[in-house]
Structure 1
Amino acid sequence: MEKKKKIFYFGKFQKILKSALFTGSYKDEMKLVRKDGKTFTGYTTITRRNSFSGSPTGYVIIIRDITEQKLLEEEVNNYTVHLERIIEERTHKLIISEEKYKRLFESSKDVVFFCDINCQFVDINQAGIELFGYDTKNDILQLNLIHHLFYKASEGKIIKETINKNGYVKDFEIALKRKDGSKIPCMMTGSLRRDMRNNIIGYEGIIIDLTEWKKIEQEKDILNNINKILASRLDIREVYKSLSEEFHKVIAFDRLSIALLDEKRVEFLTFAVSKDYRFSELEEGVQYSKQGTLAGKVVEDGEFFVVHDTSRGPFSTDPILSKEGIKSRLSVPLICKGEIIGSLNFGSKKVNNFTEAHVDVINKIVPQLAIAIDNTRLFDRIKYSEEKYRNLVEDIEDIIFRLDKNGRFMFLNNALKNVTGYLPQEFYDAPSLAFKIIHKDDVALVKHITKEIIGGRTKVFKGLEYRVYCKNGKELWFSQNTYPIKNKNGCVIGVEGIIQDITEKKKIEEQIRRSERLASIGELAASIAHEIRNPLGAISNSVCMLKRDLVLSDDDKNLFNMVVEETEWLNNIISNFLTFAHPAEYHFTKSDIAKMVEETLILLKKDARFNGNIRIKKNYSKALPKIFLDRIWIKKVFWNLLINSIDAMPNGGEISISLKKTGVPNDDKIEIIISDSGIGIPPERIKKIFEPFFTTKKSRGTGLGLSIVHRILDNHDGTIDVKSIQNRGTIFTIRLPLNNKKSRTVSV
């Protein structure tokens, strides 16, 4: 088998050499093997060497080791970390050798900058001067990083706030601008600058120009789109317009055509044409002689050719196209299975429009195009290569896996890292890790389903839901579809499947269930409360009348007072029932949320339950926008949560209140976080705290406070989440929408 592989690869390489001999050069990626047997991907350039007489004498082969496209980001990260480490080491050695620091600073290909506390530049290296398009360093030192060089100053302010809060930002993609106002995609890593006494004196960082990387990404997207277009139809002419539009993203042209050789290889057929003008002598379906044409030269030589000015062009087709307004042309050979089948031809209304740089992009597309054209002529599809399939799989957000019968992973896409934080290699090295990260209550079911499919007892299992723990400890919900892998004999040799992260879906479902449950219980509570309130009122009135009309002993008076107090307590509970079930009208007005919190705190500090052992810590973001809400009901939310915090800290403690915008794109909300350092809530109870009548208080508690809070926030299109650790405290997070335009009265 190994010998056959070697013969196969040798034969493939021989074909490549023949192609290079024929065309003069060959450029492509290929799998290569090192001396130690390890494989790597190399970008190989093979150029034919010719003697002075023009006859071939050999080849010049240049192989450059490259990495997979998906690892580019990781390489950039590693490079940035590496560069940060270098800068840190050089900065530390600045005291010893100022000259070494300057050499490192000025020779860096990436921008290194230093700013003061107001983001005014203190220093910047030559790379920064060149990137931003200024003439001298002094020109930039007059500028402010945020106000002058950020494409959007608001983005710069966010980065500044992040650095001030966390001490640094890492690999943050930003948009900066040159002196001429043009946009530059960049990636920034920055941190606080400190003096010898550790005082903050400004900011420092590295800026990496992502222009080329973005260009490569754009080209990759275009290549993927073209591949998808070519694969979407058996007849390429059905998608030729879409194909032309994709080409337009990387090359400016006014005419695109495909010329194919006939069976005798003496004439061309204009297979397909795309142009922005009406009449042409070389329309689709027209046949013309190969002799003396640009396409004829290209298929004979096997190399691209550029006509910079058709008015002086050497080919018979040049004057024809020149009359139609085409001033320059580019033609590239179409090679399928080692045979030239025609040419891909571009035309422009501008002289000197095409360069060799265009050819590099086209050459990445031409092989697939040639295959698609050949398939169209033969009415037969071919399958994508493994590399194309892998690119497609790696780009999707869901996890795709293949597992052999022994439980070893044969394949995992990069979505695994994006979702869980684990690298596929970690699962290749330790397959048992896949089950170790599954929640202990779910792992048995996952193992059982896997064994059933491998054993052939279950054909397919869809919608298997279970919980896993990410590398950072975060819990996620997964939904898995699992299928058997069979050999040619129909025997199951493993399983494959798709795993989708449904955590957000689960949260939404839980919120819906909770709201429905609260609504149904609320209706029941309302009906019961109305039935109790009437006889309760009669009891209370009767007791008051008896107390007034009868001569009672002290003990009897105490009993009567106790009855009155208890009926009042029951009446209070019933009022809460009715509030929970049918809240009064909501009057939405534009309000200052910080002011409402302060008003609630004033009342709280006057409450008998508030004592000197309780500390209030406040952290309000500046310039919070006003939002539409009902002031009375939102204050009731704050009051209930703050009273709960006090009850959870019988010996005192700290209540922390934070107000800020969430900052999530397309989801602007104000976030109110109320936390305490109290006794916390046990994990088994935390899911029930918003249910009516559930309480953790040992004293008198109706169990309706948080239910009412939840109902009020529902009516404001808001949400509330809770996290708690026993003996360490509880955190309630409220999110209210900024764009809530409810200014009318809402009756619920």
Structure 2
Amino acid sequence: MFLFRSIKNRLILILLLCSFTPLLLLRFVAFPKAQKDLEEALIRNLEGVKQKQVEIVKMWFSERKRDAKVVSKNVSTVMERNTDDKSRGFPKLNDYLEMVKSEYGYKAIRITSTDGTVLVATEPGRIGSNIMNEDYCREALNGNVFLSKVQYPAPEEKKDEQADNNVPAIFLSAPLIDSNNRMTGAVVLTADTLPLTEITKSAKLGKTGETFLINREGFMLTESPFADEMRMAGLIQQRTALELRVINPLTGKLTYGAQKCLSSNSGYDADGYENYDGRRVLGAWCWIPEHDCGLLAQIDIREGYGAALSLKKFVLSMLLILAFPMTLAAFYFGKRISAPIFNITEVTKKITSGDLGQRAKDHGKKDEISELAQAFNVMAESLEEKTIKLRHYTTDLENTVKERTLELQETSNFLNSILAGSTEYSIIAEDLNGNILAFNKGASLIYGYKPEEMIGVANMRILHTEEDLKAGKVDHMLEIARKTGRYEGEVLRKRKNGEVFSVHVTFTLRRDEKGQPIGFVVISKDITEEKIVALEKEIVNNVNKIIASGLEIKEAYKNIYRELRRRIDFVWLGVASLIDGTKIVEDSHVVDGIVLSTDWLHCYRALSHATAQDISIKKGIPVFVKDTGEGAYQFDRELFVKGIHSYVCFPLKSKGITTGTVTLGSKQKDAFTEAHFELLSQITPQLAIAIENARLFLSTRESEKKYRDLVENAPEMIHEVSLKGNFIHVNKTELNKLGYSLQEMRQMTLEDIVPNEYRGEIKRFIERIKEAGSSELETMFLTKSGKEINVEMNGTGIYNTKTGECICVRAFVRDVTERKRMEEQVRRSEKLASMGELAAAIAHEIRNPLGAICNSVGILDAHLKLTGQDKDLLEMIVGQSERLDRIISDFLDFAYPSEPSFSLQDVRDVIKNTLFLLAQDSRFTDQVEIKEVYESVLPKVYIDPDLIHQVLWNLLINALEAMPEGGQIKVMARKANVFLRDAVEVVISDTGKGIPSHELDKIFEPFYTTKSEGTGLGLAVVQRIIDDHGGTIDAKSKEGKGTIFYIKLPVGNEKWAVQDKLLVG
């Protein structure tokens, strides 16, 4: 700054600033804004090109998918209309595929069967091969229109293609679906990536710009316009597609733009990054997730920012051109303006050196500098006069100072006596820079330095810790003392031997007689002992809190270890307890803050062995082991090997009796002293009580755990509920059975898991337990899925032992659903058997008279030529006789069912045959719509096709009769499970009038019917047939909306399979 003390230099600087300010503003304000605008325009252009290219690429992929769908549809049509082509090699289909290949520019087209075998192909060599292993074939055969990634053809495909066509390709596939909605195969189209390359090359990005696609691995999917340069540079052999990986040649990793693109982000980089060819480029990118590829648009940063760089060069040139003449002009005018001022300066220096007769020259111009020279001369004359007077005053002042100096010496002697006599406090005087001026005896005793080592030699900072100095704490304290005159607080200090300790310090600002700060007096006191007492008190309080907190005992040991480590340097805390007065067991070991297993040291020891713990327990006194390497006691050698070189064993006493020991071990030899006794003696009584309580608690908890395990794993459901029915506890068996979690059950009541009609019984069940102490109930539970379970509950009350009041209910619940089902099945079997015997007897008794009646009516009809009403009556007799014969036949079929003849069948064939016959029935009208839905893959089942046809016929006729005005019948076949086995489920639904809910449970009972002319045996026979097949049949219905029947037929049955083999053999 010495340069700018001169007015001349300052004037020159001001002139230079005025001259260069416009150019500097142009360089540092206008230019950056213009550069930013150019950069933003470039990035907008880059983003626009990127977005346009992404849309065009997406459109191209969509068009290819649309091509696949159209070709698939057309191929299916051609194959259906020309079924005789198969024997002649599909000539028409070949013509169509060749036409599609040539017109749409595909490399190859193939048609496969459902097992992946190529039936037709534009490459004859591929016919007969199987491509099921290819993902595009599998996806199409699964019913999906699929677009593969850009990839090289499979090796066997490369053999069939010409070398110049061996380029990356995209495979498109679509399923072939015939008019019956059945999968007949797949069509596979192969397209190369040249159209994608043309799309990316169409972008206008200057000479160095390009756009390209990359895959998930960072390989380029299109051809670069700079492919020739890259071949010459050795970056590629043939092409960039699937050969060039977009990596930074300096780092070997993907370029910044490629990494951002692969992270599924859309964005840009305006600062530039290293490209795959080492150039620095600007880039924009976008990930296209639906096609698992990304698009990057890039341009060389030098071309992109060329205009901004030209502008920058122009501005710098202008600055250099104008700098020299402006600098000369500034120096010239600065020197002329400052010359009179320099004259005044020279005169002032001479007056300062003692020549008071000097006067400034007046240059004669009437300006401010001339007036300044005149005023200066007046001041110089006045100064000369007053200097003479000052000399006389100085002589008088010197005499006064001598007198005051004697008084100050006496005061100084008094203060020195105070400094020398104070030994408890350190008193140090220092100047404003911290240099020590005084160092009393107390300071020497506290810090270990001699006065001659400190006074006039050392700085106060030697007594502070490095941490406080680096953190600026010392400067902070001095700053407060300067501002307020005093600072008081607790700080860390360092002795001569390096020991760090705590002191209470007071900084007092010293001032001279004019009130100006000249230094500090620092008084400090060593408070180490006070800190230790306060720390031990805090540790004892914290240990008591830990013991009283109810923590698990080993967790308490770990926390006690942390607390004691604040005062004592040790690494091992061992707690041993006396068991039955004969054995010592190590309850726990904490080493380096980690709770270890009890066998870290030998677990059990007899009191007869010589160990420090034995002595401590027998005599009730602490035992010190200064060096475990000497092996004075048992296990000392083992401890030495584990790194414990000294330890102290302290007895644990409860009610005056020694119950164990607590041992602290250190890595240092002779690490423990009697100074640690006071702390250990304060915590061990509480610790002894805590250990005893923990043992009692563990015993109680073990008993509770055994009881809880019995309850949780009981085969029966067990729960406890309040008197209002709220669940308190539910065992695992009941949770698994009902499907709820324990948290969900605790938000529910017992009434929530039973049907509405049983809730009154639940309330009465709890009331009986409150009154009588116990009760039983048979009811129904609802699972979370809505399934009903028959249960028996046996409940008892739980009472308050003090008041005798019933507080809750415990119930043992047994699932009797299977028992109920078996009882119902037995009841139904017995009923069917008795009804069958009755029906057979009636049918036999009626059929003979009925045969005579039918024969007689036939003779009368043959001999009598009746007309009019007589003929109508005779025909009515014939019709009713035939109807009665059919009823008798139904009775006999029900009484003596035929034995099923099982064989492996496709249930869809049985359904289609039945529906065909139904369409021929007179009851079938145009107002009835049949809808069929089948899963694509259904296993075959062992069934009697005639009996299953009878089942389907009965159900379909019932559906027709339930829809007299017409409607829809839907037949569906799908995979299912029955009795934990694979099954095929047939679902038949109608939109008829439905069945009333009170009648739905009776429809399978024999002779129960809602028809005026029905026998009530149709659905009973249906159920018997399904039972004989090992399946199930259920029905759901809503009045006015229709009925649904669910039939489940098991897929495999060893008995039926063996029967089928015997029949075939």
Which one scores higher on RCO, CA 8 angstroms, separation ≥ 6? Answer: 1
Query: Looking at CA atoms only, which structure, 1 or 2, has the larger radius of gyration?
Result: 2
Which structure carries more helix by proportion?
2
**TM-score (ref. length: structure 1):** 0.48
**TM-score (ref. length: structure 2):** 0.34
